[in-house]
């Protein structure tokens, strides 16, 4: 069984803290968890909420309704109260509440025993009591989390958990809750998994002008800069950030930049510069609904065609889009290695949904293993930076040794010197474009899940739609349908023959995307990989749920 807990209120009330407290405590018990956030782009006020879904089986999607609503404000109570299922429970932060709502003064109790910010401990105690869980996993997590703040803080939080349990004692075990099922104790989100991967893969420089939802990766690496020996530079703007990274990669340093759509628009010229200089640049693009500033804290998949076409002129690139935190860890390393293997820009695409969601998983490999930078260490005086080769990849040396390393944004010859000889210009263009053939040969095939032997319905998705689509396939199969999912983690370049084999002969193909146009669908049509297909799209700033996808497939 599974249960969905929704904590809702305004920014500044500790909603995220309460959600994380529950997620980590539940995971420590061996329960499966899946947590997502919905928040406005403001520091105070508004209506924000966090869902914590807990189950005795693996879950990969959020739910639209709630079994337990913890409303910290009147607005949260009245706006989200209708989304509580029949037989569910609503808690309200106060001494009095309307009929059918249980009042528990979380904030006032916290103020009496400590500070208002500790209301999350009171709420945690009440929630655990209503679910019939023992308090020890919750207090144990708090002991560990607040150990560095001293015994007094630890004890205060323990007392508040106990007080929350006492206030909810009349409703102990009111909701049937899933029991521990041996789930992994470790919990990751997409931001953390991406940042860890970059750090252990040897990234030594990150530049960014902060833009939600990519800022988390920059902030994590900045926080751990001394631990991993890297430099995090908050540039004055996105143009400076991309050019700093160009300088770093020219000098042989593995580097990334993080940004969102508006920032990447400003980086477009710098990305083209990396294409011309053949620099191994990785750009993390955190998508947000647009255009312009759009909805900065909401989720979308609206930048795929932009990522594919951005930058003037023609040059090779690769695009990766992870679907879950473990993908993030694997693909960031793969993106870095691809960039260095082929000396070309690589775009790594995420969104708010994947960045913020938290889910159980086996511990990620945090062993430092630097990627192969493909650097020629013994280059001599006869070195040619842009030597024409069969693969299109030229020997790469770094400046400062015996070899002379020349670079220029103008077209150049094999030595890197500016040229307007059109035959040389053609040869250099052909050299760069030849990389695409090798990149296709090494491309990641899409992942097939479900009824692999010719399912009647095939869901095609990319990036963060992986998780809800996966659960939607399970739901459809339980309802008696023959269904499978094909997920694209690498979107460009595509190995057309491999993709054709994965798609096979299907009666019905449905492409699920978090945008209005069906941008992956248009790429697949352009590559003659699909014909007439159905589209399921969502572009209101909220993520898909598995039930929504399954219902729309049936409808």
Buried b (16+ CB within 10 A) or exposed e, 311-349: beeebbbbbbbbbbbbbbbbbbbbbbbbbbbbbbbbbbb
Strand (E) or helix (H) holding 512: strand 508-513
Query: What tokens were used for 29?
Result: 């018990």
Buried b (16+ CB within 10 A) or exposed e, 228-250: bebbbbebeebbbbbbbbbebbb
The per-residue pLDDT for 401 is 83
128 close to 6: Cβ distance less than 8 angstroms: no
The per-residue pLDDT for 362 is 94
Report the 10 Å Cβ neighbour count for 216.
Answer: 22
Work out the angle between the directed axes of helices 136-145 and 15-28 (0-180°, nearest 10): 120
Residue 296 to residues 266, 277, 541, Cα–Cα distance (Å) = 17, 33, 9
User: What is the spatial distance between Cα 529 and Cα 255, in angstroms, rounded to a whole number?
Assistant: 34
Residue 152 to residues 124, 148, 483, Cα–Cα distance (Å) = 19, 11, 55
User: What is the spatial distance between Cα 389 and Cα 391, in angstroms, rounded to a whole number?
Assistant: 6
Apex 297 CA angle, 294 and 303, nearest 5: 55
pTM of the model: 0.95
SS (H, E, C) 445-481: CCEEEECCCCCCEEEEEEHHHHHHHHHHHHHHHHCCC
Query: What tokens were used for 111?
Result: 């103020």
288 close to 295: Cβ distance less than 8 angstroms: yes
DSSP 375-392: --TT--TT--TT---SSS
- Classify residue 462 as left (phi > 0), alpha (psi -120 to 50) or beta: beta
User: What is the spatial distance between Cα 288 and Cα 416, in angstroms, rounded to a whole number?
Assistant: 38
Cα 369 versus chain centre, distance: 22
Please provide residue 196's backbone torsions phi and psi, each rounded to the nearest 5 degrees. Answer: -60, -45
The per-residue pLDDT for 471 is 96
Query: What tokens were used for 289?
Result: 């609904």
The per-residue pLDDT for 438 is 97
Peptide bond between residue 460 and the one before it cis (omega within 30 degrees of 0): no
The per-residue pLDDT for 327 is 97
Cα 247 versus chain centre, distance: 27
User: What is the spatial distance between Cα 345 and Cα 282, in angstroms, rounded to a whole number?
Assistant: 6
Cα radius of gyration rounded to whole Å, the chain: 26
If you count them, how many residues does the chain have? 555
Residue 436 to residues 286, 308, 442, 495, Cα–Cα distance (Å) = 25, 14, 10, 10
Peptide bond between residue 493 and the one before it cis (omega within 30 degrees of 0): yes
SS (H, E, C) 191-226: HHHHHHHHHHCCCCEEEECCCCCCHHHHHHHHHCHH
DSSP 99: T
Report the 10 Å Cβ neighbour count for 408.
Answer: 12
Report the 10 Å Cβ neighbour count for 97.
Answer: 17
One digit per residue, the tens of pLDDT, for the chain of length 555 reads 999 999 999 887 888 888 999 999 999 999 999 999 988 877 677 899 999 999 999 999 999 999 999 999 999 999 999 999 999 999 999 998 888 899 999 999 999 877 888 888 999 999 999 999 999 999 998 888 888 788 888 888 899 999 999 999 999 999 999 999 999 999 999 999 999 999 999 999 999 999 999 999 999 999 999 999 999 999 999 999 999 999 999 999 999 999 999 999 999 999 999 999 999 999 999 999 989 999 999 999 999 999 999 999 999 999 999 999 999 999 999 999 999 999 999 999 999 999 999 999 999 999 999 999 999 988 888 999 999 999 999 999 999 888 899 988 999 999 999 999 999 999 999 999 999 999 999 999 999 999 877 789 999 999 999 999 999 999 999 999 999 999 999 999 999 999 999 888 878 999 999 999 999 999 999 999 999 899 999 999 999 999 999 999 998
User: What is the spatial distance between Cα 185 and Cα 31, in angstroms, rounded to a whole number?
Assistant: 8
Peptide bond between residue 228 and the one before it cis (omega within 30 degrees of 0): no
The per-residue pLDDT for 381 is 87
Residue 84 to residues 59, 63, 427, Cα–Cα distance (Å) = 20, 11, 65
3-state helix, strand, coil in the chain (%, to 5): 40, 20, 40
The per-residue pLDDT for 80 is 94
DSSP 169: G
The full set of domains in the chain, from first to last, is 2-185 (3.40.920.10), 188-360 (3.40.50.970), 375-442 (no CATH), 447-554 (3.40.50.920)
Please provide residue 329's backbone torsions phi and psi, each rounded to the nearest 5 degrees. Answer: -65, -40
The per-residue pLDDT for 66 is 96
User: Token pair 């004055």 is at which residue?
Assistant: 236
- Nearest 10 degrees: Cα torsion 345, 348, 352, 353: 160
Nearest Cα to Cα of residue 268 among 239, 244, 292 = 239
215 close to 195: Cβ distance less than 8 angstroms: no
Nearest Cα to Cα of residue 538 among 520, 519, 512 = 512
């Amino acid at each position: 069984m599974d249960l969905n807990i929704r904590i809702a209120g305004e920014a500044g009330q500790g909603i995220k803290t309460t959600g994380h407290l529950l997620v980590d405590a539940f995971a420590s018990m061996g329960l499966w968890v899946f947590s997502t956030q919905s928040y406005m782009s403001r520091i105070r006020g508004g209506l924000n909420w966090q869902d914590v879904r807990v189950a005795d089986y693996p879950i990969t999607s959020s739910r639209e309704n709630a079994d337990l609503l913890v409303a910290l404000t009147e607005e949260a109570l009245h706006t989200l109260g209708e989304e509580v299922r029949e037989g569910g429970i609503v808690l309200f932060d106060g001494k009095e509440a309307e009929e059918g709502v249980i009042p528990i003064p979380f904030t006032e109790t916290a103020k009496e025993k400590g500070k208002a910010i500790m209301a999350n401990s009171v709420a945690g105690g009440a929630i655990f009591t209503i679910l019939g869980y023992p308090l020890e996993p919750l207090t144990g997590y708090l002991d560990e989390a607040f150990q560095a703040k001293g015994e007094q803080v630890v004890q205060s939080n323990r007392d508040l958990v106990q007080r929350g349990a006492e206030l909810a004692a009349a409703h102990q075990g009111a909701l049937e809750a899933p029991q521990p099922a041996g789930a992994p104790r470790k919990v990751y989100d997409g931001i953390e998994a991406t940042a860890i991967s970059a750090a252990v893969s040897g990234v030594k420089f990150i530049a960014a002008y902060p833009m939600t939802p990519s800022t988390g990766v920059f902030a994590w690496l900045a926080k751990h800069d001394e631990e991993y020996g890297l430099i995090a530079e908050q540039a004055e703007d996105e143009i400076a950030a991309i050019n700093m990274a160009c300088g770093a990669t020219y000098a042989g340093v593995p580097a990334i930049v993080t940004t969102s759509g508006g920032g990447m628009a400003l980086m477009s010229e710098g990305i083209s510069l990396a294409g011309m200089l053949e620099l191994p640049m990785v750009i993390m693009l955190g998508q947000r609904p647009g255009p312009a500033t759009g909805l900065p804290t909401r989720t979308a998949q609206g930048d795929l065609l932009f990522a594919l076409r951005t930058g003037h002129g023609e040059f090779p690139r690769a695009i990766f889009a992870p679907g879950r935190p473990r993908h993030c860890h694997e693909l960031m390393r793969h993106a870095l290695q691809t960039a260095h293997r082929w000396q070309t820009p690589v775009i790594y695409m995420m969104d708010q949904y994947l960045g913020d969601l938290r889910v159980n998983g086996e511990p990620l490999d945090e062993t430092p293993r630097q990627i192969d930078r493909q650097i020629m260490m013994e280059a001599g005086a006869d070195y040619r930076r842009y030597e024409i080769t069969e693969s299109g990849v030229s020997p790469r040396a770094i400046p400062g040794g015996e070899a002379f390393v020349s670079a220029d944004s103008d077209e150049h010859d094999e030595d890197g010197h500016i040229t307007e000889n059109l035959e040389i210009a053609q040869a250099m263009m052909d050299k760069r474009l030849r990389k695409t053939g090798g990149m296709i040969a090494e491309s990641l095939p899409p992942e097939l899940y479900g009824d692999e032997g010719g399912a009647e319905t095939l869901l095609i998705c990319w990036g963060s739609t992986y998780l809800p689509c996966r659960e939607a396939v399970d739901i459809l199969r339980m309802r008696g349908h023959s269904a499978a999912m094909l997920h694209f983690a690498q979107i460009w370049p595509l190995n057309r023959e491999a993709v054709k084999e994965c798609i096979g002969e299907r009666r019905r193909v449905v492409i699920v995307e978090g945008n209005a146009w069906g941008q992956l669908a248009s790429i697949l049509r352009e590559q003659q990989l699909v014909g007439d297909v159905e589209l399921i799209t969502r572009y209101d700033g909220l993520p898909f749920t598995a039930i929504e996808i399954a219902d729309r497939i049936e409808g």
